[in-house]
Chain A
C-alpha cells in the first residue's frame, strides 16, 4: 500500500484543521464533511483520516474527547486547541502565499 505523498498529507492536515476550526466533530462526521466539501477531488479512504487525526493530537494542535451523541452512544470528538488555531492561521497564510504564486505562474500565457 503506497502512502500519500507529502503534499497530499500536508494538505489533509490543513483541511482537517480548517474543518475542525468551524466546529468540533467526530471522525465519521469529519469524513462526511471532507467528502462534501472537496467533492471527488480528494480521493482518500475513510480510514486514512485516523493516522492523521492521531498525529495532529500528538502534536497538540487538536484535542480529543469522548462525548455522548444521539441515542445513548459515545463518539470521540476532535476540537481545535489554541495552539492548533495559531498553527492553522500560519499554515493558511502560507498556503495562500504559495497558491497565489503558483496560480500566477500558471496564468502566464504563451506569447
Chain B
C-alpha cells in the first residue's frame, strides 16, 4: 500500500478500531435497506407480500455469511480475533487455576534461572573489557621450570619487566601492577584501618585508556623510588571515608605512617577489571611503593605485566619476541632456576575471567535443562488438557470451526503461561542477580552484572521460544484427529487408543532423561564438595581465630623493632584469660591458599648438577604456632627462644619434606642453606598441612619468624580457645590498640570461615545444581503420576471388566505399575547415556571424584527408580482396588 493511500485511510482505520459497534450497526442498516428495497421492487413487479420477501432473501444469499465476510474486510479484524482467543485462553486458565499456577511457576523458575545465568555469562565472560581497543591487550607471563615443576603462566618479576619493556619490538607499551596492604590512618578522628591497595606503573592507565574521574594520573616522575609518595583513591574509599569530597585532592593521608599526597580518584572498581579487585581501596605508583631491589630482581615473581600489541602484530609474534629476550637473560643466570626461560601470554580478557568459563557454562547448561524440562512439563499438561477436551474440539470441528482457529487457541494458552512465567521469571532473575553479586565476590567482574535492555530482550525471546516449543509439541497430539473417532471413543464402553498416551510417555522419558543428567552432575559436584570440606588440613579447625596485622615500615625500622613488637604482642595475647594458645605465622594459615616457595640446598648431601635445585614451600612462624593450630610435632622440638634477629640457626620441616628429601635418613641435626639462612640446623619435623584444601600437602619448611629478614612486616595471629573463639576478637584488638594506636587488624576469620571462603565456589555450584536437579525430579514425579492417573482413568471400564472376570488384584497392580514405570525406565537409560557425555564437561570442576563415580551413578539411578515407583504406586494401587460394579456404572 502506498503512503498516500495510508494517509487517506487513517481516519477510516481509526474508526474501525474504536467504533466497531457502530460500524456493525451501520452494516445492519445497510443490509436491511438493501432487502427492503428489493422487497419493494418485487412488490412493484406484482409479487405477493410473502413471495416478495422470500424472493428478496433468496436473491441476497446467506446474510450471516455476508455479515461475517464483511467484518473480515475491516481493518484489525485479525487482532480482534486474536483478542478473543486471548480472552478465551485466559478464561480457561483462570478456571483451572491449579494447573495454571503450577505451569506458570515452573516456567518462571526455568526462565528466571536462564535469564540470570545469561546476564552473568554476558557481563562476566562475554562483554569486552571496558578499555580502549581491548582486543590488543595481552597479559604477559613468564615460563618457569623449577625443581621439576613447570609453570607456564608464572607472574612477572620486576627485573624481567624492565628488560622486556626496554628491548621488545612488538608491543606499543607495557605496564606492570602489584598489590600491597597498607595501614591507612588520617589526621582526623577516623580509626586506622588496613586497606588492600594496588601498585601500578605510571603508564598503566594510559595503556588501558583509563583516566581518573578526579585529579590526575601518576606521572613518570611519581613512579621513581626517590619520588614524593602519591596515591590514587578508589571510588569506594573516596565515597566511604572521605564523603565524596572533591577537596580531598592534594591533601595528605598516612599509609603505613608515611604521608602520601592524594592526586586523584579512580572510576568505580567495576570499570577496572584486570587491575582491581572489589576490595581494592587505593593505588600507589609501583616503583615508588615497592622496594627498589625487588623491582630489579629476576627471580621474585610478584607482578602482573600487561602489554598492548603494536598494530599488525600477533600475540604469537609478541611472545616469540619476549621469549628471545627472556632466553638471553636465562642463559646469563643458569645458576638461578627461578629465572624464567621463556615468555607466554593470554588475551587480557581470558586471563581475567577465563577460570570462570567451565563453571558458568556448566551452570548455564544446567539451567537450559531446567527450562527444557519446564517446557516439556507445560507441553505435557497441555496434551493432557487437549485429551480431556477432545470431545469439545471434535464437536466444534464438526460444526465447522476452523482447524487453524482451534490450533491457535491451543497455542494461545501456552503463550499466556509462558508470558506470565517470563514476567515472574524476570523479577526472579533480578533478585537472584542481586544476591549473586552480594555473595560471589570471588567472581571477576561480578560488580558489572546488570539487568538491562538486552537482558529484558533475552527474556522476551525465551518466552516466545518456550511458548512456540510447548505449543508445537502439544499440538502434535491434535494432528490428524478424526472427529468421528474422537466422538466414538469418548462414548461409553470404549477404551481410548494407546496412541493417545504415547506422546505423553515420550515427553516424560525425555524429562526423566534430563533429570538424570542434572542429578548426576549435581551428585558429582556434591561429592566433590564433600571431599573438599572433609579433607584434613593437617591442623585443628574448631575454635581457632586468625587475624592479619602489619607494621608500618616507616615507624618500625629494622628487624629488631618488628620482632620485639610481635613477640611482646603474642606474649600478651597468650596471657588473656580464656585463650589456650596463640601463635604467629607468615604468609598465611593452612587452607587459605597463600603460599610462597624457595629453593634450598642440604649441606650434608652432594651438590646438585648446575641448573637444578630443590624447592619447597616456606613459612615463618613462632615457637607457639604449631601448638596453637594443633599441628603435631612428630620428631625433635619447636624453635628455641634464642632465634632472634641476626641469629637464625634453626629450621623445622614437614613430614612430606622429610620423606621427599631425606628418604631413609634422619633429618634431625642435618643442615640446610636457604636464601636467608646459611647452615641452619633442622630441629624438628611437624605434620603436613595443606595450603589449599583442593591440593595435596606440599613439602614445607618453617623459619623462625622473630629472626625473619627485614621484608617481613606483617604476620597472622592465630588464637585458640575452649569455646566460642570469636568473643576474643575485640579484646585482642583492644590489646593491639593499647600497644600502638595507629594499628588495625584485618581479615578476622575463624578457620571454618577461611575454609568456607576457599570452598565457596564448589559449594555454590553443587548447591545450585542440586536445587535444579531436585526440582526436575519433582516435576518428573508429578508428570509420571499424572500420566498414570490418566491411563487408569481411561481404562477404568477395561480394568473393571478384567476384575469382574476374575483377574487377580496383584496382577492388575503389576500391570499398571509396569505401564507407568516404562517411560521412567526409558528415561533412565536415555539419561545415563547422555550423562556419559556431560560428565566430561565438568571433569575439571571435580576434586578427588572421578567423572564416572559408580556410587553417584548407582545412587542417582536408585533415587529415580524409588521416586518413580512412589509416583506410580498411588494410581496403580487405586486401579487394583477398583470396585468392578462401580467402575462399569460410573461411565
Contacts and interface: CB of A to CB of B under 8 A. Distances in A.
B33 A28 contact: yes
B5 A45 contact: no
Nearest to B23: A54
A58 interface: yes
A79 to B, nearest CB: 14
B211 interface: no
Contacts of A47: 31, 60-63, 65-66
A99 interface: no
A50 interface: yes
Contacts of B13: 58
A18 interface: no
Interface in A42-84: 45-48, 50-51, 54-55, 57-60, 66, 73-76, 81, 83
A1 interface: yes
Contacts of B29: 76
A3 to B, nearest CB: 8
A28 B66 contact: no
Interface string B65-103: 110011011110000000000000000000000000000
Nearest to A3: B69
B39 to A, nearest CB: 10
B27 to A, nearest CB: 8
A58 B16 contact: yes
Contact of A83 (B4, B34, B38, B60): B4
B38 A28 contact: yes
Given A26-B33, A76-B30, A83-B4, A58 B73 contact: yes
B12 A58 contact: yes
A45 B37 CA distance: 15
A24 interface: no
Contacts of A45: 59-62
B9 interface: yes
Contacts of A51: 66, 69-70, 72-73
Contacts of B8: 60, 81, 83
| Most interface-central of B9, B16, B30, B41 (chain A CB within 10 A) | B30
B33 A76 contact: yes
Contacts of A54: 27, 70, 73-74
Contacts of B65: 1, 47
A50 B30 contact: yes
B26 interface: yes
Interface residues of B, number: 31
A60 B8 CA distance: 7
A54 B581 CA distance: 97
A99 B870 CA distance: 77
Contacts of B5: 59-60, 83
Contacts, number: 76
Contacts of A55: 73
A31 B61 contact: no
Nearest to B72: A51
A84 B226 CA distance: 90
A50 B34 CA distance: 10
B12 A60 contact: yes
Contacts of B27: 50, 54
Given A46-B59, A60-B12, A83-B4, A27 B72 contact: no
Nearest to A61: B5
Interface in A1-38: 1, 26-28, 31-32
B12 A46 contact: no
Nearest to B63: A47
Contacts of B1: 59
Contact of B33 (A1, A57, A75, A81): A75
Nearest to B58: A45
Contacts of A27: 30, 33-34
Contact of A59 (B9, B33, B61): B9
Contacts of B59: 45-46
Main secondary structure of the interface of B (DSSP, over half): helix
A71 B427 CA distance: 67
Contacts of B31: 47, 50
Contacts of B12: 57-58, 60
A69 B740 CA distance: 109
A50 B65 CA distance: 11
A73 B37 CA distance: 11
A32 B33 CA distance: 14
Contacts of A81: 8
A73 B9 CA distance: 28
- Which of B13, B62, B70 has the most chain A CB atoms inside 10 A of its CB? B70
A48 B66 contact: yes
A47 B64 CA distance: 10
Nearest to A32: B41
A58 B38 CA distance: 26
Contacts of A50: 27, 30-31, 34, 66, 69-70
Given A28-B37, A55-B73, A48 B30 contact: no
B60 A46 contact: yes
Nearest to A26: B33
Interface string B536-553: 000000000000000000
B70 A46 contact: no
Contacts of B66: 47-48, 50-51
Interface in B197-253: none
B23 to A, nearest CB: 9
A65 B75 CA distance: 19
Contacts of A75: 30, 33
A60 B9 contact: yes
Contacts of A26: 33
Interface in B682-718: none
Interface string B42-63: 0000000000000000011111
B37 A1 contact: no
Nearest to B2: A83
B75 A58 contact: yes
B248 to A, nearest CB: 69
Nearest to A51: B69
Contacts of A32: 41
Nearest to A30: B34
A62 B5 CA distance: 11
B60, B62, B74, most chain A CB atoms within 10 A: B60
Contacts of A66: 26
A106 B72 CA distance: 38
Interface string B856-872: 00000000000000000
Nearest to A27: B34
B38 to A, nearest CB: 6
A92 to B, nearest CB: 18
A49 to B, nearest CB: 8
A37 B33 CA distance: 22
Interface in A75-105: 75-76, 81, 83
Given A58-B74, A59-B5, A60-B8, A48 B34 contact: no
B37 to A, nearest CB: 4
A74 B33 CA distance: 8
Nearest to B56: A46
Contacts of A46: 34, 38, 59-61
Interface string B3-28: 01100110011001000000000110
B60 A76 contact: no
Contacts of A1: 62, 65
B62 A76 contact: no
Nearest to B61: A45
Interface of B: 1, 4-5, 8-9, 12-13, 16, 26-27, 29-31, 33-34, 37-38, 41, 59-63, 65-66, 69-70, 72-75
The 3 closest A-B pairs by CB, nearest first: A45-B61, A47-B66, A47-B61
Given A27-B34, A58-B12, 7 more contacts: A26-B33, A45-B60, A46-B59, A48-B69, A54-B70, A60-B5, A73-B33
17 contacts: A27-B33, A27-B34, A45-B60, A47-B31, A47-B61, A47-B66, A48-B66, A50-B31, A51-B69, A54-B27, A57-B12, A58-B12, A60-B12, A73-B33, A76-B26, A76-B30, A83-B4
